[in-house]
Amino acid sequence: MSALANKTILITGGGSGIGLAAARLFLKEGAKVAITGRNEGKLKQAAVELRAGDRLWHGPCDVTAPTNVRNMVAQVQQKLGPIDILVNNAGLNIKERTIRELTPDRWDELVRANLDGAYYCIHAVLPAMLDRKDGLIINISSVAGKRANPLGGAAYAAAKFGLSALGICLAAEEKDSGIRVCNIYPGEVDTPILENRPTPVSAEQRQKILQPEDVAAAVLFVAQLPPRVSVPELIIKPTSQLYI
């Protein structure tokens, strides 16, 4: 039997891309999966594709609103049981990425979506994990959270650096509590976020970069490790992408 059988997994940004690919892999391992995101239509379509019956819960949630997050987590727990693994995958970027183009409102939008939302989800699931002395939190950051560059933009990079710090600090604080935290830093991935690139990405380039299934496989690898094993950070990138 898989180590993930009957485990409850909550995945934000689960309606498409990495989140949907991860949900598919977890379900194959016998887990119970909750997917949430801002777009209810995408979540409904994802649920149809996944065909998991009672092992799948889906519902919309704006993770930048703490009350919404608390309510969503309560619904998941009621439907699927205590949350064993949280995958903080929700995030976004915008086309106006330079400091000259950024406005305070767009800055706030990026920080709330890429950093605040992850914290709100952690805050909602952590108490029950601490009670059980067991839990895994996987934060999908970005290589932009390791190597700031104009491609991702200043606001996106700042938020992802913040997410990295959040994960590292939490892991250090709770290393004796049975709570494991992993920050995963993907390079370029062929997901809907590419639609907001200032310069369109060609079909040829999309074939060279990571696919959602590649990152989902990394998520599954971390999740399948026994409780004695922790992977604090994992970088995964296209072979052709520089990492210097």
Active-site annotation, residues = 156
User: Please, where are the H alpha helices in the chain?
Assistant: 17-28, 40-50, 66-80, 104-111, 117-132, 154-173, 203-208, 212-224
Place of tokens 């700042």: 158
Q: Between the CA of residue 132 and those of 5, 84, 127, 135, 136, what are the distances in Å?
A: 18, 9, 9, 8, 12
Q: How many other C-beta atoms lie within 10 A of the C-beta of residue 110?
A: 23
- DSSP three-state, residue 238: coil
Token pair of 154 as six digits? 């200043």
- H/E/C letters for each residue in 106-131? HHHHHHHHHHHHHHHHHHHHHHHHHH
